[in-house]
Structure formats: C-alpha cells, structure tokens
C-alpha cells in the first residue's frame, strides 16, 4: 500500500500544467542578462550551433575571469501559494564542479526587483541525452509573490561554458503527505548466553511493542554481542546468515523494513555492519561502518568504504553506525545522494553532533542506542519521539514531503546541495 501511495503521489506531481516553456532560441526576446558588477560579468551570448533539438541555446562563459558570476534571467507571472516546477537542461564544458558552478533557481518577486520570500534552487539532477543534463526544483510561490524570476547562471568557472535549453515552468498540485512511521528500539538486554539469545530479546520486544502499520523498525548497533560477554570475532557471521534470517522473519510478520547492527565475517575481515531488510524479509543491502573508533580497529575490525543509499517503497534511506556521527562526511554523503531519512544504530556518542547532522543536512534521523538516546528527529533537530526507558520504543510518523523552510534562509535542503564546497581540498 505504501508503495502504491508513493507512486500515486509521484504521478500527481508529474501531471503538471505548463505555465511557460521554451525550446530552441532564435533570439533572446524576453531574456535579460545580469551580473552584480561589470567587472564580474560573464560573457553571455546566443549560441547557434549547440542545442538540444530546435536550433539555438542560451550560453554563459566564464571568459577567463575567475570572479565571473551571472547569466540569463526571465520573469514569468505566478499565483501566490501555488506550487511550481522549474526544469532546465544544460550542457557544460570546462566546468570542474558543476554542482557548485552551474546554477538554476527561481528568485520569487513581489514587484520588479523586489524579492518575495527566499530563492529556491534547482538541485535534482538527471542525465538527459547527448551530454545534456536535466535539473529541476519544486516549490511553492511565497504568499506575496507575483512573478518567478528564472535565473540561469554560471559562477566562478573561468574556463567554463554552460549552454541552457529546453526550459519550462509548470504549475503543480501541492505534494501529498508522504507519511512514514518509524519505530526505534531502546533495549540493552540483561545477560545473554550467545548471539541468538541476544537477538531473541530484541525480537520479543519488537513483537510486543511495535504495532502493525509501522514502516521502519530500527535496532541498535551490535545486537549479536551486547550483554553476551563475547567479542565481535566470537559472534561474527556471514550475510545472509542466522541473524539475517531471524530478523527477516520478523520483518515479514510486521510487514516492515528492519535495520540492525551486527558483526559480519567475510574472508579474513570482520566488519561492523548494519543489515537492511525489506517488508518481505529479504536483504535489501548492508552498510559497513566507515568510521571505526580506535578501539574497534585495535580489536581487529576492518572499516567499510562506501555510503550506500537504499530505495524503499516510501523514499530513500541512508544508514550510519555510531562513530560515523562524530564526523560530517557520512551524513553529508548520504544527503547528497538523496537520502531523506538516516537510520543510526549506535552504542554511544555526542548528542549535539547527532542533532547537527539533522540540521546541516536537512534530513530526518532515527537513532537506536545504548548509551545514546533512542529517538526520531526532524530536519530542524527537534525530537519527535524519545524512548527514555530501557525496553521501550520511540515511535513517530514523519512526512517526507514536508517542507522545512526558514524565513530568512529559505529551503536549506536546496541551498545545501548548491552551496556545499566540495571543490576546496581538505588534506594538507
């Protein structure tokens, strides 16, 4: 049912009413050029050879000027409060960091040269064809907006040129609520004889406390070792393996996704791994903890080396494990790859940094911990549900389509995607 709802929501957004569109450029009628100062104005011109179909495209060149910033603009009338989608296609050459240097956005206007609300940035990118890429945004016009100023820019790319073509502004139906119910488990079992006994205690709690209709069940880190008195090497197993099978049966019974931390053995390597199971109990994938603390490295564990994002029937999900929360790049990588919800099996850690990861990346975070709070948190860093006592669960229904916009900063999810500086070297 959840999958059907998400598909229907997606289809409703696709059924848009064109407000304005243009493909091919024989002239620049209706378009103007912009730069904050003449000294940093890029070269703007009508390209007659490069196009995506019909002849002509709008071109912006850095013109060997590292300070160049600006490009093409056009204003289109809009209705306050209505939702709109901007799509634009571009082809860039000589641009080293497209995500930062190629810019398409809507600067909402209440009157000529008077801003309404805050600009919205196009950041959702998909390849088109013949070297072209499609970039888009979906956003509501602010309450006092009467026009959408479409801005197609190039910034700080001295050897770069970007060609813009096949551009459209469409009116959308407002996005439907995309509800997801998350249950995070707070349990530190009393002494267990072995891994299977520890896992059984988690399953018993899930059986008794997690209601039908829950979409995601999150268990902590290392559920096969906690309270057993054993070492990771004693309980490490293959994936799939016995714990995968036991959790898979529970996922099937609850018709829910399950994420849990175990220890994985592959050849000579041991990994601190989170397994991700679907509603049918099948293995969707796994995440191997990238950031291992000193103690785990000295204990013989091997770090992972990738940040996978998992597609579910309600959206995109990323996983981090414990010490990952101490560093900015795991959450950043997952958010940049489209994750909307981060699931964190965790032993213990810095609560302030956990909150920071939600705020800076504009994602929901759910954690399941022992010496760390078990909660569901929104992109503003507000805890929606908190399980304070051992043997309880934090349950919250979140809306992945909810827009978290700041009055002064705008929609930081889009700004984050377009402003994050991945081009500046961080190593000495």
Asked if residue 215 lies in contact with residue 182, where contact means CB atoms within 8 angstroms, the answer is: yes
Predicted confidence (pLDDT) at residue 10 exceeds the cutoff of 60: no
Residues 260 and 276: their CA atoms lie apart, in Å, by: 7
Residue 286, C-beta contacts closer than 8 angstroms, at least 6 positions apart: 239, 264, 273, 274, 275, 276
- The phi, psi pair for 60, rounded to 5°, reads -135, 130
Predicted confidence (pLDDT) at residue 388 exceeds the cutoff of 60: yes
Q: What is the pLDDT of residue 12?
A: 44
Q: What is the pLDDT of residue 9?
A: 46
Secondary structure of 30-60 in HEC code, one letter for each residue: CCEEEECCHHHCCEEEEECCCCCCCCCEEEE
CA 389 to chain centre: 31
Asked if residue 237 lies in contact with residue 264, where contact means CB atoms within 8 angstroms, the answer is: yes
Question: What is the arithmetic mean of pLDDT over 395-423?
Answer: 94
Residues 408 and 26: their CA atoms lie apart, in Å, by: 39
pTM of the model: 0.92
The two tokens of residue 372 are 């760390």
Question: What is the arithmetic mean of pLDDT over 282-306?
Answer: 97
H-state helical runs in 88-190: 98-101
The two tokens of residue 230 are 């054993």
The two tokens of residue 169 are 């502004």
CB count in 10 Å sphere of residue 170: 20
> Do the bridges between strand 341-348 and strand 364-371 make them parallel or antiparallel, or are there none, so unpaired?
parallel
Residues 108 and 115: their CA atoms lie apart, in Å, by: 6
Instruction: Determine what percent of the chain is predicted with pLDDT higher than 90.
Output: 91
Q: What is the pLDDT of residue 15?
A: 61
The closest alpha carbon to 72, from 27, 136, 127, belongs to 27
Predicted confidence (pLDDT) at residue 5 exceeds the cutoff of 70: no
Residues 243 and 196: their CA atoms lie apart, in Å, by: 7
Predicted confidence (pLDDT) at residue 424 exceeds the cutoff of 70: yes
Predicted confidence (pLDDT) at residue 353 exceeds the cutoff of 70: yes
Q: What is the pLDDT of the chain when averaged over all its residues?
A: 94
Q: Note the residue count of the chain.
A: 428
Predicted confidence (pLDDT) at residue 358 exceeds the cutoff of 50: yes
Residues 238 and 267: their CA atoms lie apart, in Å, by: 9
Model confidence pLDDT, tens digit, residues 107-120: 999 998 899 999 99
> Do the bridges between strand 69-77 and strand 114-115 make them parallel or antiparallel, or are there none, so unpaired?
unpaired
Model confidence pLDDT, tens digit, residues 128-150: 878 899 999 999 999 999 999 99
* Topology adopted by domain 10-174: Jelly Rolls (2.60.120)
Asked if residue 105 lies in contact with residue 122, where contact means CB atoms within 8 angstroms, the answer is: yes
Question: What is the arithmetic mean of pLDDT over 205-233?
Answer: 96
Cα angle: 149, vertex 80, 20; to 5 degrees? 45
Q: What is the pLDDT of residue 13?
A: 44
Q: What are 319's strand-pairing partners?
A: 343
Scored b (16 or more CB within 10 A) or e, 100-110 reads bbbbbbbbbbe
**What is the CATH code for 179-402?**
3.60.110.10
Asked if residue 345 lies in contact with residue 259, where contact means CB atoms within 8 angstroms, the answer is: yes
Q: What are 105's strand-pairing partners?
A: 121, 151
Q: What is the pLDDT of residue 8?
A: 45
* Annotated domain spans of the chain: 10-174, 179-402
267 confidence band (pLDDT: 50, 70, 90): very high
**Alpha carbon of 125 to those of 62, 87, 195: distances in Å?**
22, 10, 44
The 8-class DSSP code of residue 325 comes to: G
The closest alpha carbon to 359, from 412, 422, 287, belongs to 412
Question: What is the arithmetic mean of pLDDT over 384-405?
Answer: 97
The closest alpha carbon to 169, from 323, 331, 21, belongs to 21
The closest alpha carbon to 66, from 40, 103, 37, 38, belongs to 40
């Amino acid at each position: 049912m959840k999958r059907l709802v998400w598909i229907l929501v997606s289809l409703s957004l696709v059924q848009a009413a064109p407000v304005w569109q243009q493909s091919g450029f024989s002239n620049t009628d209706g378009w103007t050029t912009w730069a904050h100062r003449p000294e940093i104005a890029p070269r703007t011109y009508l390209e007659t050879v490069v196009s995506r179909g019909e002849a002509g495209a709008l071109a912006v060149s850095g013109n060997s000027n590292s300070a160049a910033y600006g490009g093409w603009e056009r204003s289109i009338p809009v209705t306050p409060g209505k939702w709109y989608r901007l799509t634009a296609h571009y082809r860039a050459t000589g641009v080293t960091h497209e995500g930062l240097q190629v810019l398409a956005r809507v600067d909402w206007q209440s009157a000529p040269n008077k801003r309404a609300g805050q600009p919205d940035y196009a950041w959702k990118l998909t390849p088109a064809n013949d070297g072209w890429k499609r970039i888009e945004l979906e956003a509501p016009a602010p309450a006092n907006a009467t026009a959408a100023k479409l801005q197609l820019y190039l910034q700080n790319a001295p050897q770069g040129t970007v060609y813009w073509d096949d551009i459209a502004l469409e009116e959308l139906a407002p996005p439907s609520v995309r509800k997801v119910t998350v249950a995070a488990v707070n349990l530190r079992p009393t002494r267990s004889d072995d891994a299977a006994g520890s896992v059984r205690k988690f399953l018993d709690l899930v059986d008794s406390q997690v209601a039908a209709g829950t979409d995601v069940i999150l268990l902590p880190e290392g559920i096969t070792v906690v309270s057993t008195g054993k070492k990771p090497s004693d309980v490490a197993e293959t994936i799939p393996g016995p714990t995968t099978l036991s959790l898979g049966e529970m996922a099937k019974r609850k018709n829910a996704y399950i994420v849990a931390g175990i220890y994985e053995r592959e050849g000579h390597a041991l990994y601190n791994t989170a397994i991700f199971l679907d509603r049918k109990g099948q293995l969707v994938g796994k995440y191997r903890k990238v950031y291992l603390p000193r103690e785990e490295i000295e204990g013989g564990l091997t770090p992972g080396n990738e940040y996978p994002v998992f597609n579910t029937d309600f959206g995109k999900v990323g996983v981090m494990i414990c010490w990952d929360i101490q560093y900015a790049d795991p959450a950043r990588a997952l958010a940049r790859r489209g994750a909307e919800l981060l699931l964190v099996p965790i032993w213990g850690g810095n609560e302030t940094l956990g909150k920071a990861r939600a705020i800076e990346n504009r994602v929901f975070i759910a954690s399941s911990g022992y010496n760390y709070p078990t909660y569901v948190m929104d992109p503003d860093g507000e805890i929606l549900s908190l399980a304070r006592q051992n043997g309880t669960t934090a349950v919250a229904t979140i809306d992945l389509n909810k827009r978290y916009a700041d009055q002064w900063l705008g929609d930081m999810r889009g700004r984050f995607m377009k402003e994050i500086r991945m081009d500046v070297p961080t190593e000495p």
